[in-house]
Amino acid sequence: MAKTLYIEDEKEIGQWVTEDLTGRGHDVTWLTSGNQLEQYLNNIDLAILDIMLPGLDGFSIGKRIKKANQDTPIVMLSARSAVEDKLEGLSFADDYVTKPFHPDELAARVDALLRRFQKEEGILEIRHLQIDTKSLIIINKQTEKEILLTGKQYQLFQYFLRHLNQILTKEQLYEGVWGERFMEGDKTLMVHIRYLREKIEENPAKPTIIETIRGIGYRVKK
Amino acid sequence: MAKTLYIEDEKEIGQWVTEDLTGRGHDVTWLTSGNQLEQYLNNIDLAILDIMLPGLDGFSIGKRIKKANQDTPIVMLSARSAVEDKLEGLSFADDYVTKPFHPDELAARVDALLRRFQKEEGILEIRHLQIDTKSLIIINKQTEKEILLTGKQYQLFQYFLRHLNQILTKEQLYEGVWGERFMEGDKTLMVHIRYLREKIEENPAKPTIIETIRGIGYRVKK
DNA sequence: TGTATTATTTAAATTTTGTTTAAAAATGAA
DNA sequence: TTCATTTTTAAACAAAATTTAAATAATACA
Tens digit of each residue's pLDDT (9 = 90 or more) over B44-54: 889 999 988 88
Q: Classify burial at A217, counting beta carbons within 10 Å of its beta carbon; exposed 0-12, middle 13-18, buried 19 or more.
A: buried
Q: Classify burial at A168, counting beta carbons within 10 Å of its beta carbon; exposed 0-12, middle 13-18, buried 19 or more.
A: buried
**B214 CB neighbours strand C below 7 A:** yes
Cβ neighbours for B144, distance < 8 A, ≥ 6 positions apart: none
pLDDT score of B16 more than 90: yes
> Nearest 5 degrees, angle CA B191-CA B194-CA B196?
110
Give the nearest chain B residue to A65 (CA atoms). Answer: B115
pLDDT score of B147 more than 70: yes
* CA to C1' distance (Å), from A152 to C26: 14
- Radius of gyration of chain A measured on its C-alpha atoms: 19
**A214 CB neighbours strand C below 7 A:** yes
Q: How far apart are CA A193 and CA A182, in angstroms?
A: 15
Is A214 at the interface with chain B, CB within 8 A?
yes
Name the minimum distance, in Å, from the CA of B4 to any CA of chain A.
Answer: 16
Instruction: Give the one of A54, A63, A214 whose C-beta lies nearest to B104's C-beta.
Output: A54
For residue B97, which residues of chain A lie inside 8 Å, CB to CB?
none
pLDDT of the residue at B60 = 86
pLDDT of the residue at B80 = 61
pLDDT of the residue at A140 = 95
Q: Identify which of A39, A75, A83 has the alpha carbon closest to the alpha carbon of residue A171.
A: A39
> Nearest 5 degrees, angle CA A66-CA A72-CA A73?
105
> Nearest 5 degrees, angle CA B204-CA B208-CA B210?
80
* CA to C1' distance (Å), from B42 to D12: 42
- Contact in structure between A177 and A159 (CB atoms under 8 Å): yes
Side-chain-side CA neighbours of residue A145 (13 Å): 6
pLDDT of the residue at B2 = 77
For residue B136, which residues of chain A lie inside 8 Å, CB to CB?
166-167, 216
- Domain residue ranges of chain B, discontinuous segments joined by +: 3-117, 123-220
Q: What's the mean pLDDT when you consider all of chain B?
A: 86
Q: Rounded to 5, what percent of chain A is helix, strand, coil?
A: 40, 25, 40
Interface test mutation site (partner A, options B20, B101, B148, max chain A beta carbons within 10 A): B148
Instruction: Give the one of B104, B112, B148 whose C-beta lies nearest to A213's C-beta.
Output: B148
- Contact in structure between A213 and B148 (CB atoms under 8 Å): yes
Region B166-179: mean pLDDT is 90
Give residue B90's pLDDT band: very low, low, confident or very high (50, 70, 90): low
Give residue B203's pLDDT band: very low, low, confident or very high (50, 70, 90): very high
Cα end-to-end distance, chain A, whole Å: 23
Q: Does domain B123-220 sit in CATH 1.20.810.10?
A: no
Pairwise CB contact (< 8 Å): A166 & B135 = yes
Give percent above pLDDT 70 in chain B.
91
For residue B134, which residues of chain A lie inside 8 Å, CB to CB?
166
**A206 CB neighbours strand D below 7 A:** no
In A32-69, DSSP assigns E strands to: 46-50
Q: How many CB pairs under 8 A join A and B?
A: 46
Classify B3-117 by CATH class: alpha beta
Q: 3-state DSSP call for residue A34?
A: coil
Q: How far apart are CA A202 and CA A126, in angstroms?
A: 12
Instruction: Give every residue of chain A whose pLDDT is below 50, as ranges.
Output: 88
Instruction: Give the one of A36, A38, A56 whose C-beta lies nearest to B108's C-beta.
Output: A56
For residue B21, which residues of chain A lie inside 8 Å, CB to CB?
none
- Contact in structure between B136 and A168 (CB atoms under 8 Å): no
**B197 CB neighbours strand C below 7 A:** yes
Instruction: Give the one of A39, A55, A215 whose C-beta lies nearest to B150's C-beta.
Output: A215
What would the 3-class secondary structure string for B50-70 be? ECCCCCCCHHHHHHHHHHHCC
Is A164 at the interface with chain B, CB within 8 A?
no
DSSP B150-193: -HHHHHHHHHHHHTTT--EEHHHHHHHHH-SPPPTT--HHHHHH
pLDDT score of B116 more than 80: no
pLDDT score of B120 more than 90: no
Q: How far apart are CA A155 and CA A149, in angstroms?
A: 9
Give residue B128's pLDDT band: very low, low, confident or very high (50, 70, 90): very high
Pairwise CB contact (< 8 Å): B107 & A216 = no
Residues 52-81 of B with CB under 7 A from strand C: none
Give the nearest chain B residue to A61 (CA atoms). Answer: B112
Which of A109-118, B188-197, B210-219 has the lowest average pLDDT? A109-118
pLDDT of the residue at A90 = 60
The sheet carrying B217-220 orders its strands as B168-169, B217-220, B210-213
Is B122 at the interface with chain A, CB within 8 A?
no
* CA to C1' distance (Å), from A192 to C20: 12
pLDDT of the residue at B212 = 96
* CA to C1' distance (Å), from B218 to D30: 27
